Chain A
């Protein structure tokens, strides 16, 4: 497994304030066009609903959760704004990686204090927690914390403050993963 633990050169990233300005303008454009903000987990949720609906349609029909995402006209749940935006996010990252020369072989980036396997396990656990948390929170960092708060939603701000707040509170216990 290729590991990435040190980087001697300063990486070529956008100025963060400029990146933030671009992201803010994009968010504004999305509000103007769609009347709602950005989302990342929506695409994954609809993919799961689609696969489950193919494998076990009866189960989905009976589920009070999954049945919400199956369109009544019989079209695919994947034929949805969120899915196209999610696909776009992947390709946008790919283009940026190509432009700035960061595309590479499959590799694992981790702190020198842990090995690649530990990092992968942690990434998996973090992903599972984010998957569960984003459903309870009505969105993840993009959908609830950023877009929700930008449209002045109280719940969005609540998720934003808790997500970062809890991160800071427990950061000490997970420091080995990072520093």
Chain B
């Protein structure tokens, strides 16, 4: 990606920049916080506008009457993955500087299981509960309160399970490195799974909704 800059000594000059910008110190003067606020706002807007401010809408994914979660989630995942591959291919982003969430096997397995229960019982995830609270849903506020308590309990109990928390560290390992495939093949796989899921859930939803007269969301 090219950028035109002006300096007193050299006049206009074309320089080449690569993302990510903030980790390389290319955004200064705490503009990054303004950007963070705007990105957060876009995130909240998209979540609410897609229907994630309703817990019954979200929970529909587990009972077959509404697969909006699956559609939005998989679509976003596929778009971001393919986009990253293209950005990398065009030399717009330095993938070495993109944060790959590190893997800690036992701890993350437990975390995923606990969040699965939290999802089906609470009907929100933290991001969606913000937007639910924002439009006046008391259950959204209570959910956020719960998350506060949960994180607090975790932090206070941390010495008890510190060893477990850091056990099985595999580092910043990618999906491809685990199954022996390139990022491109992984993306292709995820895309195929997503397309099949879009089609399959469309069929299921049609059948389940046949008997529903009132919208449950």
Contacts and interface: CB of A to CB of B under 8 A. Distances in A.
Interface in A31-51: 31-38, 40-41, 44-45, 47-49
Given A92-B41, A123-B142, A123-B143, A170 B120 contact: yes
A173 B66 CA distance: 19
B172 A150 contact: no
Interface in A19-64: 19-38, 40-41, 44-45, 47-49, 52, 63-64
Contacts, number: 539
Contact of A89 (B78, B112, B131, B138): B131
Contacts of A14: 46, 49-51
Given A65-B154, A87-B40, A178-B62, 20 more contacts: A14-B46, A25-B83, A31-B84, A33-B20, A35-B19, A45-B155, A90-B130, A92-B131, A93-B130, A96-B45, A108-B138, A129-B122, A131-B147, A133-B118, A135-B151, A141-B119, A141-B126, A155-B170, A163-B116, A166-B119
B82 to A, nearest CB: 8
Nearest to A42: B126
B109 A158 contact: yes
Interface string B103-145: 1110111111111111111111111011111111111101111
B3 interface: no
Query: Which size class do B's interface residues fall under?
Result: 35 or more
A39 B103 CA distance: 17
**Counting chain B CB atoms within 10 Å of each CB, which of A11, A79, A109, A148 scores highest?**
A109
Query: Which size class do A's interface residues fall under?
Result: 35 or more
B139 A109 contact: yes
A45 B75 CA distance: 28
B44 A90 contact: yes
Contacts of A96: 44-49, 53, 131
